[in-house]
């Protein structure tokens, strides 16, 4: 009995990041995927509470009674607005139903932000338009659709690129648009010279889900922007416990952000 109790006490959690898969398809075959209806519904209910004043702050569908501010993101956002000498049109790619928007909303004065535009999956867009869209916050199905409505000055990508099936194709295309400023926040990297595909098993107190997730080599990630962009800033995550991320219970991953400006 004592032996069983000792093993249970010292058992590593079954949640977090695991594996080193050869392809996204291989990892997808043993996960549920990110487009499950329960994730959208839980996120919607949480953000509605934030929007309506029933909660202070939401991150990854979890509600908090005290807001955590992504100060590097806020700093670079305000810096870009000041440099632009006019309010920004922001593209928040993969921005859920407005998580970052509501998190930093008090900083988005009329002189700083003219529009905050989210590009997301179709079912998120439909939900966003129905429950969250306002005079500043808008939802679009693609970058091109967003660009047809607003001249984007700053692109924000927070905890999103690692969940794309073909992130390097996307990053190459993102660089080709020629946006003035790009900000990557909460992006997963690995201490290795090559990328790693894992499975993320979400803690059940958040929601029941599992999906593939990339960890990038920094050099490979930034190589897409070497020709036309300069890294003006890099910073760690503001989320406690994500400065070091364990894969297979080994501390080999971490979250980091970069602020890029297009060469003049």
In a domain, 28, yes or no: no
Any domain includes 209: no
Question: Tens of pLDDT along 107-127?
Answer: 999 999 999 999 999 999 999
Residue 104 confidence (pLDDT):
95
CATH code, 158: 3.40.50.150
In-domain check, residue 10? no
Taking each helix axis from N to C end, the angle separating 37-51 and 122-131, rounded to the nearest 10 degrees, works out to 30
**Has residue 58 been placed in a domain?**
yes
Q: Which of 146, 252, 137 is nearest to 189 (CA)?
A: 252
**pLDDT band, very low/low/confident/very high, at 91 (cuts 50, 70, 90):** very high
pTM, full prediction: 0.91
User: Is residue 146 in a domain?
Assistant: yes
Instruction: Give a yes or no: residue 133 inside a domain.
Output: yes
Per-residue model confidence (pLDDT) at position 98: 94
Give tens-digit pLDDT for 95-109.
Answer: 999 999 999 999 999
> Would residue 89 count as lying in a domain?
yes
Read off the pLDDT of residues 147-194 as tens digits, 9 standing for 90 and up. Answer: 999 999 999 999 999 999 999 999 999 999 999 999 999 999 999 999
Q: Between these two residues, 124 and 9, which has the higher pLDDT value?
A: 124
* Whole-number pLDDT of residue 68: 87
What would the pLDDT profile of 24-83 be if each residue is shown by its tens digit?
999 999 987 655 557 888 889 989 999 888 888 788 777 887 888 999 999 999 999 999
> What is the number of structural domains in the chain?
1
- Per residue in 242-256, pLDDT (tens digit) is 889 999 999 999 999
Looking at residue 90, its pLDDT comes to: 98
Look at 120-134, 232-246, 250-264 and tell me which has the smallest mean pLDDT: 232-246
Residue-range definition of the domain harbouring residue 55 = 37-189+226-242+255-262
Predicted pLDDT of residue 26: 96
């Amino acid at each position: 009995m004592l032996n069983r109790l000792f093993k249970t006490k010292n058992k590593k959690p079954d949640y977090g990041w695991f594996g080193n898969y050869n392809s996204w398809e291989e990892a997808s075959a043993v996960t549920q995927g990110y487009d499950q209806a329960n994730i959208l519904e839980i996120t919607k209910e949480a953000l509605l509470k934030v929007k309506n004043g029933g909660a202070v702050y939401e991150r990854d569908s979890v509600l908090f009674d005290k807001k955590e501010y992504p100060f590097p993101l806020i700093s670079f956002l305000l810096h870009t607005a000041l440099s632009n000498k006019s309010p920004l049109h922001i593209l928040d790619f993969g921005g859920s139903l407005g998580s970052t928007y509501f998190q930093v909303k008090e900083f988005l004065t009329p002189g700083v932000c003219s529009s905050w535009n989210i590009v997301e999956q179709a079912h998120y867009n439909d939900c966003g338009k129905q429950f969250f869209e306002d005079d500043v916050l808008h939802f679009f199905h693609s970058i091109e659709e967003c660009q047809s409505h607003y001249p984007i000055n700053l692109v924000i990508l927070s905890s999103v690129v690692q969940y794309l099936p073909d992130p390097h194709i996307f990053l190459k295309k993102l660089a080709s648009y020629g946006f003035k400023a790009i900000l990557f926040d909460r992006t997963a990297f690995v201490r290795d010279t090559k990328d790693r595909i894992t499975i993320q098993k979400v803690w059940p107190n958040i929601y029941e889900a599992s999906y593939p997730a990339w960890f990038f080599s920094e050099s490979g990630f930034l190589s897409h922007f070497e020709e036309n962009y300069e890294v003006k800033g890099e910073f760690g995550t503001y989320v406690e416990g994500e400065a070091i991320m364990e894969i297979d219970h080994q501390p080999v991953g971490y979250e980091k952000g970069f602020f890029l400006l297009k060469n003049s």
